[in-house]
Amino acid sequence: MSRDTGTEALARLAEERVDHRFKGLPPDADGLTVGELAAQRRNLFTDGFTTPVLALSAERLEHNLRLMETYAVRHGLAFAPHGKTSMAPQLFQRQIEHGAWGITLAVPHQVRVARAYGIQRVFLANELTDPAALRWIAGELESDPAFRIICYVDSVRGVELMDRALRGAARPVDVVVELAAGEGARTGVRTEAECAAVADAVAGTDTLRLVGVAGYEGEVPQADPERVHAWLRRLVALAVDFDKADRFNGVDEIVVSAGGSAWFDAVADVFAEIPELSLPVLKLLRSGAYVSHDDGHYRKITPFNRVPEEGALEPAFRLWAQVVSRPSAEQAFANAGKRDAAYDLGLPSAQVVRRDGAERPAAGIEVTGLSDQHAWLRTGPEADLEVGDWVGLGLSHPCTSFDKWQLIPVAEADGTVVEYIRTYF
């Protein structure tokens, strides 16, 4: 059976039927296709959506996509945003349309989703030793000459396991040696000598091809600008040393990759210093949280705060919950909890209140805790809050917001829903 193109697979998302699987959508939309519901351009606040409901801002989403596209071009970077943030093929496609080289992913399931929707370039930011997954990837490479995947290696043992699973494959898998961000950091090779040993192990196989070096500066212990810049310079020096040792035989370009969402300004600084090597260098940035941004963790740490002349990301998520209890003047409860709101990097923040079509700031209202299905609200004397009011909540950590919602309305500023984003976690 022939594979559908990415365009065909994306088009089929609009054919999925709306039903009880999708939180917050209008009950009277059951049986409509997603495309039919989108064509109705319903209003998030007046046309039957039920609380809690998570929405993306159409305008802010587009702003963030354009901003990072401009940033990457300005700094001479290729861009492979981390797709595990959203696991939304429609957003993958929009990122590609906004200049992304490809999509970064972390585990085999995510690669399967990307491939089902036509993604042709994947950076797998993990060492992959699962034989079933490696055999599947080998099949993808054999059946599609245009498909490219780049994968971490961080141990000789890992190289041996990959080689064993891939023997007989038609095409080698491209790999980059992962340099750890320091002692006590997450994955990666701890020393340059060990990096060389891993590179030697790759060279001893026919199934793997060394194409560069990579890592994640967000794991630098006690990260600050000085420490992060120093680690990134180690990464660049490793690429230079490997090139001098002629370790990149048979490739067209050398890949040097880093970049989470906290220090991509440092990545841009140091990658601008990469000297001329024997081959062109693909300077690959992987920041992913930008696509929706947030109102908490990432808003505090975005590099645009340090370099404001570069622009500013805008939080695109808002979770709407309804006040269902007002037991005292100091307390209220809304019907969104841990099942609905990201909370691992901070509680939601109350931003606005809607009543009878009017919206106002959520003065004197603070989220103090989450139960499974309730937000605990502390209300001060200035809080004007009644049972039935809608409360718009800002969220921290987009990576754990997308995974709680399978079909997310995209709403314009006046509440008109123009699209629905499908996620796969």
| Locus of tokens 């699987």 | 21
> CB within 8 A of 92, min separation 6: which ones?
83, 86, 103, 114, 117, 119
How far is the C-alpha of 212 from the C-alpha of 301, rounded, in Å? 28
- Domain residue spans in the chain? 6-57+313-422, 120-286
One-letter amino acid for residue 341 of the chain = A
* Predicted pLDDT at 254: 98
Q: What confidence score (pLDDT) does residue 5 get?
A: 80
Cα distance between residue 193 and residue 144, in whole Å: 36
Q: pLDDT digits over 113-170, tens only? A: 999 999 999 999 999 999 999 999 999 999 999 999 999 999 999 999 999 999 999 9
Q: Is the pLDDT of residue 392 over 50?
A: yes
Instruction: Let me know: does 151 contact 173? Beta carbons within 8 Å.
Output: yes
Right CATH for 120-286 from 1.10.1040.10, 3.30.1330.60, 3.20.20.10, 1.20.970.10:
3.20.20.10
User: Tens digit of pLDDT for each residue in 174-216?
Assistant: 999 999 999 889 999 999 999 999 999 999 999 999 999 999 9
Overall average pLDDT of the 220-243 stretch:
97
- Least confident interval from 5-9, 90-94, 237-241: 5-9
For 126, 160, 199, 280, the CA distances from 131, given in Å and listed in that order, are 14, 11, 21, 32
User: Is the per-residue pLDDT at 1 higher than 60?
Assistant: no
Residues sharing a CB contact under 8 Å with residue 224, sequence separation 6 or more, in sequence order: none
**CATH class of domain segment(s) 6-57+313-422:** mainly beta
- pLDDT over threshold 80, residue 2: no
Q: What is the mean pLDDT of residues 80-108?
A: 97
pLDDT digits (tens, 9 = 90+) for 6-53: 899 999 999 999 999 999 999 999 999 999 999 999 999 999 999 999
Instruction: List pLDDT tens digits, range 308-360.
Output: 999 999 999 999 999 999 999 999 999 999 999 999 999 999 999 999 999 99
Instruction: Identify the three-state secondary structure at position 197.
Output: helix
What is the average pLDDT score of the chain? 96
Angle at 133 between CA 128 and CA 135, to 5 degrees: 110
Burial string for 32-63 (b: 16+ CB within 10 Å, else e) reads: bebeebbeeebebbeeebebbbbbbbbebbeb
Q: Are 318 and 394 in contact (CB under 8 A)?
A: yes
Q: Which helix (H) or strand (E) holds 56?
A: strand 53-57
- E strand or H helix at 236: helix 225-244
Question: Rounded to whole angstroms, how far apart are CA atoms 274 and 19?
Answer: 52
Percent of the chain whose pLDDT exceeds 70: 99
pTM of the full predicted structure? 0.96
Contacts of 109 (CB under 8 A, 6+ apart): none
Across the range 54-68, mean pLDDT stands at 98
For residue 3, the model assigns a pLDDT of: 63
Strands 281-285 and 78-79, by their bridges, are parallel
Q: How confident is the model at residue 88 (pLDDT cuts 50, 70, 90)?
A: very high
